[in-house]
Chains A and B, each alone.
Chain A
């Protein structure tokens, strides 16, 4: 995996985020705060605009009183964490078997053409990032994609158009602009 280091200041955590972090750390016995790492990374990533820079990961390490390397090794193992900046909306299209059988590759191609980007890229206006994902657990309702925490199922080109328009109108929750 290629990791380019991009300048990014540490996010300023909101009060809600700080309280949430304390709450989830409290789920584990004294001294086992490292167990909260994935949840904390999800929270911090959201606060940081949808991705984790090395600097932001160092901040996670400080929050959990662990070494930065312990955060890096986790961040590079789990596919949900973005280690490069992403657009305001990240479309993750499921590409695995059951979705493929009902036409997920057509949806991927359609999105590539519509947004004029390839999988893994972000539109020049910074609005959309297109990714593929392995099975997202919606196999009976495919093709599907995940955007933020929402699942969009039974996709057709028309539904994809509607989704893109809804994003442009600001009706879908996107990444924070930081």
Chain B
């Protein structure tokens, strides 16, 4: 049984209420931080814990905090990125739905560290039912004196509210999120200036993922020294993993970083293997944007080491034979799944979600979708496969935000590892159409 730092009490009945949460040790980190630590000490603690951003990019949270500008008389803001839209990822919803006070607690401590007196949670609009749960929890926290003026007599003030999106994947990109929170279209901004200098309403702003902010709570409670005893050399602590696709038991699991991927997929405590007794064909370990890996490369690295659920092990081998932990969205494919069909599906997603600001992404994602659709529906030719690689190169690195890269990587990886399947679609068009006939229904392209 792995240690649970975030979801330890997630199953306790009534844990979504302040009283039950408090009874199970809730809000201790607020007392500890506000009464016994300086904001700088909190930042230092999170830095020492080497907490990596849990949204997908894995950027060290403590370092991000230390970049925040502190001009005199200018307000600072903490924004929680709850726009969770990366296909395969649904851990933040779980956390907010079942244990909303953990996020609020983490945000109080984090705001204190940053010197922010106003914080917002930006949650995707489709999670309106979760917004209502969190909003209720926020109201309770105000009532109990953990939000508002002079929290616990410390002199620290914090206002927190939650705002919904309107259905746009791009708003998970931090500058697009800021634009959206200003009431505009979610077009990412050019960086620099970085949000830490000019963010919300041009004020210094930090944007952190839900799980990142929640993880601040156990770090403060147990100290960074204890926290860093969990995990591997470069990946400390625990991570929420959302498992979906063809696994026996999909869902959200908290794992100690360093668990073997094989154990996670097949272990009784976790996914319990592939549905219907089938074999695993491939896996995407970090949400749809990260490279897909064939089964043999997911359980062991190219040098034959056991593949572990950690930042460094999942990216071992680079993109040639590795992938990324990303958001921790595990998408598992059984032996009957068609890689071309799935690659097209993901390409359609990115074409749909491109904000349209940069031509390489706006045009390129659409091209890729069309070319993949052509191959998928038995109308492709061999040149199309190279054309995809060519479009890929023209998108990657040529856009304001990483959505372009996120769209290019899965296509490149699918061709890298499953080229013969793309070729099979070209040489066996009729069979390809027959095999995937179901997918042609409801096609909007």
Q: Could you say which of B183, B247, B353, B441 contacts A34, with CB atoms under 8 Å apart?
A: B183
Query: Are the C-beta atoms of B125 and A42 separated by less than 8 Å?
Result: yes
- Give complex CA distance A37, B125 in Å: 12
Q: Which residue of B lies closest to A78 (CB)?
A: B166
Q: Which residue of B lies closest to A120 (CB)?
A: B444
Residue picked from A24, A96, A101, A106, most chain B C-beta under 10 Å: A101
Query: Do most interface residues of chain B lie in helix, strand or loop, or is the interface mixed?
Result: mixed
Q: Could you say which of A35, A118, A134, A142 contacts B352, with CB atoms under 8 Å apart?
A: A134
Query: Are the C-beta atoms of B201 and A39 separated by less than 8 Å?
Result: no
Q: Could you say which of A27, A109, A118, A137 contacts B90, with CB atoms under 8 Å apart?
A: A137
Query: Are the C-beta atoms of B331 and A101 separated by less than 8 Å?
Result: yes
- Give complex CA distance A146, B333 in Å: 24
Contacting residues, chain A, for B93 (C-beta < 8 A): 137-138
A38 at the interface (CB under 8 A from B): yes
- With known contacts A80-B126, A97-B331, A139–B167 Cβ distance under 8 A: no
Contacting residues, chain B, for A137 (C-beta < 8 A): 84-85, 89-90, 93, 124, 126-127
- Give complex CA distance A134, B352 in Å: 8
Whole-angstrom distance from the CB of B386 to the nearest CB of chain A? 24
A88 at the interface (CB under 8 A from B): no
Q: Could you say which of B118, B164, B183 contacts A74, with CB atoms under 8 Å apart?
A: B183
- With known contacts A77-B185, A137-B93, A139-B331, A42–B441 Cβ distance under 8 A: no
- With known contacts A34-B183, A35-B163, A140-B250, A96–B438 Cβ distance under 8 A: no
Query: Are the C-beta atoms of B345 and A96 separated by less than 8 Å?
Result: yes
Query: Are the C-beta atoms of B129 and A119 separated by less than 8 Å?
Result: no
B320 at the interface (CB under 8 A from A): no
Contacting residues, chain B, for A108 (C-beta < 8 A): 441-442
Whole-angstrom distance from the CB of A19 to the nearest CB of chain B? 14
From 99 to 135 in chain A, residues with beta carbon under 8 angstroms from any chain B beta carbon are 100-102, 105-106, 108-109, 112, 118-120, 132-135
Stretch at the interface among B1-9, B60-68, B101-109, B238-246: B238-246
Query: Are the C-beta atoms of B127 and A77 separated by less than 8 Å?
Result: no
Contacting residues, chain B, for A64 (C-beta < 8 A): 183
Query: Are the C-beta atoms of A97 and B345 separated by less than 8 Å?
Result: yes
Interface magnitude class on chain B? 35 or more
- Give complex CA distance A150, B127 in Å: 9
- Give complex CA distance A23, B341 in Å: 46
Query: Are the C-beta atoms of A139 and B185 separated by less than 8 Å?
Result: no
Q: Could you say which of B161, B167, B355 contacts A80, with CB atoms under 8 Å apart?
A: B167
B116-145 vs A, CB cutoff 8 Å, 1 = contact: the mask equals 001010001111110010000000000000
B204 at the interface (CB under 8 A from A): no
A36 at the interface (CB under 8 A from B): yes
From 393 to 445 in chain B, residues with beta carbon under 8 angstroms from any chain A beta carbon are 438-439, 441-442, 444
From 13 to 56 in chain A, residues with beta carbon under 8 angstroms from any chain B beta carbon are 24, 27, 29, 32, 34-39, 41-42
Give the A-B contact count at a CB cut-off of 8 A. Answer: 174
Whole-angstrom distance from the CB of A108 to the nearest CB of chain B? 4
- With known contacts A74-B166, A80-B126, A97-B346, A135–B252 Cβ distance under 8 A: no
B326 at the interface (CB under 8 A from A): no
Whole-angstrom distance from the CB of A22 to the nearest CB of chain B? 14
Query: Are the C-beta atoms of A78 and B85 separated by less than 8 Å?
Result: no
Q: Could you say which of B183, B186, B355, B444 contacts A36, with CB atoms under 8 Å apart?
A: B183
Contacting residues, chain B, for A29 (C-beta < 8 A): 118, 201
Q: Could you say which of A41, A97, A151 contacts B288, with CB atoms under 8 Å apart?
A: A97
Q: Which residue of B lies closest to A105 (CB)?
A: B438
- Give complex CA distance A121, B324 in Å: 39
B235-259 vs A, CB cutoff 8 Å, 1 = contact: the mask equals 0000000111111001110000000
B180 at the interface (CB under 8 A from A): yes
Query: Are the C-beta atoms of A95 and B442 separated by less than 8 Å?
Result: yes
- Give complex CA distance A32, B337 in Å: 49
- Give complex CA distance A145, B334 in Å: 23
Query: Are the C-beta atoms of A41 and B438 separated by less than 8 Å?
Result: no
Contacting residues, chain A, for B329 (C-beta < 8 A): 139
Contacting residues, chain A, for B87 (C-beta < 8 A): 96-98, 134-135, 139
Query: Are the C-beta atoms of B442 and A132 separated by less than 8 Å?
Result: yes
Q: Could you say which of A73, A101, A109, A141 contacts B442, with CB atoms under 8 Å apart?
A: A109
- With known contacts A101-B331, A134-B169, A139-B87, A32–B201 Cβ distance under 8 A: yes
Q: Which residue of A lies closest to B160 (CB)?
A: A27
Whole-angstrom distance from the CB of B275 to the nearest CB of chain A? 8
Whole-angstrom distance from the CB of A51 to the nearest CB of chain B? 14
Query: Are the C-beta atoms of B128 and A27 separated by less than 8 Å?
Result: no
Contacting residues, chain B, for A151 (C-beta < 8 A): 129
Contacting residues, chain B, for A100 (C-beta < 8 A): 341-342, 345, 439
B313-343 vs A, CB cutoff 8 Å, 1 = contact: the mask equals 0000000000000000101111001000110
From 140 to 198 in chain B, residues with beta carbon under 8 angstroms from any chain A beta carbon are 159, 161, 163-169, 180-186
B residues sitting closer than 8 Å to A (CB atoms) are 84-90, 93, 118, 120, 124-129, 132, 159, 161, 163-169, 180-186, 201, 242-247, 250-252, 284, 288, 329, 331-334, 337, 341-342, 345-346, 349, 352-353, 355, 438-439, 441-442, 444
Q: Which 7 A-B pairs have the closest CB atoms?
A: A78-B166, A140-B250, A139-B244, A80-B167, A34-B183, A79-B167, A98-B244
User: 26 A-B Cβ contacts within 8 A?
Assistant: A24-B161, A27-B159, A35-B181, A36-B183, A37-B183, A38-B166, A41-B166, A64-B183, A66-B183, A77-B186, A80-B167, A81-B167, A97-B284, A97-B288, A100-B341, A101-B333, A101-B337, A105-B442, A106-B438, A135-B169, A135-B288, A139-B88, A139-B242, A140-B247, A140-B251, A141-B250
